[in-house]
Amino acid sequence: MTDFARTRALFHLPDGVIYLDGNSLGPLPVAAKARVARMIADEWGDLLIRGWNDAGWMEAPRRIGDRIAGLIGAEPGAVVMGDTLSIKVFQALASALELNPRRRIILSDSGNFPSDLYMAEGLIRLLDRGHQLKIVDPEAVEAAIDESIAVLMLTEVDYRTGRLHDMRALTRAAADAGAISVWDLAHSAGALPVDVAEAGADFAIGCTYKYLNGGPGAPAFIYVAPRHAETARPALSGWLGHAAPFAFDLAYSPGRGVERMRVGTPPIIALAALDAALDVWESVDMADVRRQSIALIDLFIREVEAQCPVLTLASPREGARRGSQVTFRHPEGYAIMQALIARGIIGDFRAPDSIRFGVAPLYIGEKDVRDAVGVIADVVNHRGFDRPEYRKKALVT
């Protein structure tokens, strides 16, 4: 059994705060502070350029990729780190389209994160080969899969509502129709058990700054199923994805396997923070995380509905159908969230009216949920949000 009291002690959680936004940015793992400081002093400071060889910086994207692989059910050697998630979406989609050259439709849904759809639009424009992005309701995805679909591109957990797709069933339906699947695991990795290999996913991508607690702007990951690893062609053919970067050939030749999805110089300081954050998972069983997350969110929903019925549940009620967040709607959602943050209950707001709370059992327990709902009820029921300063929109919501 995972000892959640122990995992909680591995995070820096500021006094007076109940942190329910780990679905956006995970909290600081205590060990990351020392690890980054040590990396800066001993490696960057003393080794200087020698760090690329002597401190293993050059292999870090693959080595850490293997750590992520263990958390998403990927085969060893099938994941590599680098860049941001939007870039990895572009890479995965570009390679996927090339693997299915006679088809033109990219199927996605209206619950996908806009950046994924924007990257698809940009790629379609760039390719200029008549590809189309077809966006359907999340519930209509399965029925829309047919033999016209080149790529099924979905985010497993809806960033707004937390609704969870059936990755295995949809991947199988896509494969049966001859389509390639690309799964965005931004809200899945570290939130629930994922098994990309077992599901038969062709590509998967995700970020590490949410439930994996890698820090703001932490590098993203990309998974390429081993059956495609030697044939998928990288659209972003940077030198570190080359078979022999230090041969400095004038012509591009892709590296071995997933190595070819590397682009340029890896962010070594950020990877050091992520590496320390991943240590937390060494003693964690994802099945325990899932069980606890469902129980805590069930409690959250029950308490909110009992104490402040004016909030409308936007997430699936059934635990098995959602990720590790819960969302409620209220026309004054933005002001409510600002009032909650002012009282130390940190969640976030997604337009037009959703307040989101991420529940990460590694550092959130039953008392946090009960205390948070007490404050939510107070703010909502007594209109504690009804102040001009809480309606002033900030850059990040």
Ligand X SMILES: Cc1ncc(COP(=O)(O)O)c(C=O)c1O
Token pair listed for 316:
């699936």
Rounded CA-CA distance 63/50 in Å is 18
Are 363 and 352 in contact by the 8 Å Cβ rule? The answer is: no
Nearer to ligand X, 357 or 385 (CB): 357
Q: In the set 2, 91, 155, 338, which binds ligand X (CB under 6 A)?
A: 155
Question: Counting contacts by CB under 6 A, is residue 160 touching ligand X?
Answer: no
Nearer to ligand X, 323 or 384 (CB): 323
Sign of the dihedral through C-alpha 119, 122, 128, 134: positive
Nearer to ligand X, 218 or 232 (CB): 218
Task: In angstroms, give the least distance from the CB of 112 to ligand X.
Answer: 7
Considering only residues 45 to 104 of the shown chain, the ones binding ligand X according to CB under 6 A are 84-86
Q: In the set 207, 268, 270, 314, which binds ligand X (CB under 6 A)?
A: 207
Nearer to ligand X, 91 or 95 (CB): 91
Q: In the set 19, 57, 90, 113, which binds ligand X (CB under 6 A)?
A: 113
Question: Counting contacts by CB under 6 A, is residue 307 touching ligand X?
Answer: no
Distance in Å from the first CA to the final CA of the chain: 36
Task: In angstroms, give the least distance from the CB of 324 to ligand X.
Answer: 13
Nearer to ligand X, 184 or 368 (CB): 184
3-class SS string, the chain? CCCHHHHHCCEECCCCCEECCCCCCCCEEHHHHHHHHHHHHHHHHHHHHHHHHHCCCCCHHHHHHHHHHHHHCCCCCCEEECCCHHHHHHHHHHHHHHHCCCCCEEEEECCCCHHHHHHHHHHHHHHCCCCEEEEECHHHHHHHCCCCEEEEEEECECCCCCEECCHHHHHHHHHHCCCEEEEECCCCCCCCCCCHHHHCCCEEEECCCCCCCCCCCCCCEEEECCCCCCCCCCCCCCHHHECCHHHCCCCCCECCHHHHHCCCCCCHHHHHHHHHHHHHHHHCCHHHHHHHHHHHHHHHHHHHHHHCCCCEECCCCCHHHECCEEEEECCCHHHHHHHHHHCCEECEEECCCEEEEECCCCCCCHHHHHHHHHHHHHHHHCCCCCCHHHHCCCCCC
Question: Counting contacts by CB under 6 A, is residue 116 touching ligand X?
Answer: yes
**Active centre residues (catalytic):** 113, 184, 209-210, 356
Considering only residues 226 to 265 of the shown chain, the ones binding ligand X according to CB under 6 A are none
Considering only residues 177 to 196 of the shown chain, the ones binding ligand X according to CB under 6 A are 184, 186-187
Task: In angstroms, give the least distance from the CB of 176 to ligand X.
Answer: 25
Nearer to ligand X, 113 or 363 (CB): 113
Nearer to ligand X, 22 or 384 (CB): 22
Closest CA to 326 of 337, 336, 338, 317: 317
Rounded CA-CA distance 339/287 in Å is 34
One character per residue 210-229, x = contact with ligand X (rule: CB under 6 A): ----------x---------
- Positions in the binding site for ligand X (CB under 6 A): 84-86, 113, 115-116, 155, 159, 184, 186-187, 207, 220
